[in-house]
Amino acid sequence: MKNITKAEVERLRVKLESCREEAFRALVRLGSEAREMDVESPMDIADRSVGHLVRESLYLQGSQRRNLLRSIQDALERIREGTYGKCGVCGEDIQLHRLEALPWTNCCLRCQEQMERQLETGPSSREARIAWGRTA
């Protein structure tokens, strides 16, 4: 972590804590909205179609928030372990401006770009996601 100071790590930890709270509140709100959608009321086929689309959107947003929460928790754990700011793929330092933009990231820009290229052009998107530790 030679590219970032302890004060910068602390500032990013506070930012991560704030992001975690915000993501958790959004997840609770999405759950509330989904439960409201489950209230059965007489609907015609158009209403049911719209309802399905809204539920699918809420599910997707909830899934994204849960993934973000996991990433934030992982970043906070890396801070506790003293490995925050190191790329989990190549071991190089992650640039400070990248951490400021995405404090939960666990890889440098070079490795991220390489991973995205593999996901787009690799022999199998599923195989590439598994190789990079992603299952979604």
CATH classification for the domain delimited by 6-131, as one of 2.60.40.420, 2.102.10.10, 3.40.50.1820, 1.20.120.910: 1.20.120.910
Per-residue pLDDT tens, the chain, 136 aa: give them. 457 899 999 999 999 999 999 999 988 888 777 777 655 566 677 777 777 777 787 778 888 889 999 999 999 999 999 999 999 999 999 999 999 999 999 999 999 999 999 888 866 555 555 555 554 4
Give residue 92's pLDDT.
95
Residue type (1 letter), 120: E
Measured between its terminal Cα atoms, the distance across the chain in Å is: 30
Give residue 18's pLDDT.
96
Give residue 135's pLDDT.
44
Contact 76, 9 (CB under 8 A): no
Give residue 88's pLDDT.
94
Alpha-carbon distance 48 to 42, whole Å? 9
Alpha-carbon distance 98 to 118, whole Å? 21
Give residue 127's pLDDT.
58
